[in-house]
Structure 1
Amino acid sequence: MSTAVKPHDLAAALANADLIFDRATLEQAIARMAQPIRADYSNDDVPVYLTIMHGGLPFAAQLAMELGALGLDLEFDYLHATRYRGATSGGELTWKHRPATPLQGRRVLLADDILDEGHTLAAIRSWCLEQGARDVRIAALAVKAHDRCVPGIHADYVGVEVPDRYVFGYGMDYHEQGRNLPAIYALKD
């Protein structure tokens, strides 16, 4: 076993981070989000529920259960498009997996961990519309507090607002680590 120090040590990051939202607070926020989503979809209008991998997985699973408890059926699929690939700033969009479910004429609900500047979500939303989706809505667990969003992109359903800092946990990674932390942390400045 190597004793070399990891270049991006998660334990060190946690020691240098503030707890922004704990698990109970996030679960309450997700339950609150489910109410307006349920109100926006009728029983005969089952949305295609697209989880945006990898970060959206923990949030999307929790939100799906809350929606199911409210009687809303979902047609599950996923996509994997990234601009980060382990880095802390985005580059060109790379598609790793596109949904197999036809989107023509369907309502689509995208579930993602965070809306930061929105470049990735804007591209995904545009792609869904190009595939013939008649409506595309975004559910984001967290929205970052700043004014740098891509024009025209916003989350239709928001769990919490996080500071304009490097955040991780509950799907968001710290150099591909910590996605399964049951809370959201922000690195100290």
Structure 2
Amino acid sequence: MKIKNVVMGIGIIILTIFVVVYGFSTFYSRVEYSDYCPEYKVGLDYNETICLAEGGVWYPEEIVWGEDGGATRVAKTERCDLGDIRETCNKEYREAREKRAKIIFVIAIPLAILIIALGAMLFSLESVGAGLMGGGIGTLIYGAGGYWEYAEDWIRFLSSVIGLVVLIWFAYWWNKKSSENN
């Protein structure tokens, strides 16, 4: 294969992956942290009104200091606890990310196989066929990689085996087709 064809193939790989990734982002938007969790101002001096408006719990506390247990000094310390809100919104955010990753996984894997098949079977121009096949492999990695952290081990194993079998089959098919044409 000439260097021009290699460069064209690499370009097709990259652009195929871009089309898939940005296609998913266009039709199934990314999960944004700010959609689930409000922005907290670090160092903001929360007073009771601001704390309650942000959904926090306001604690006006008196703290007694003393080594012997006696009251040597009493200080008024007020604080705003936003922990429950953060925990709840983080949980909702993680669940939304997992749901999106699962949908992308279910769609991207067959799409990747289709792209690989199109590259292997329909395009006689080697740079285009190889580029699409590489883009299909990138799509496979994108789809599986996004869901990988959420998937159970058996799903990881099964999808790895299926991916390996499909790629080996296409490699044999592609090489057989190429040797028949020469």
> TM-score, normalised to structure 2's length?
0.24
**More strand by proportion, 1 or 2?**
1
Larger radius of gyration: 2
> TM-score, normalised to structure 1's length?
0.23
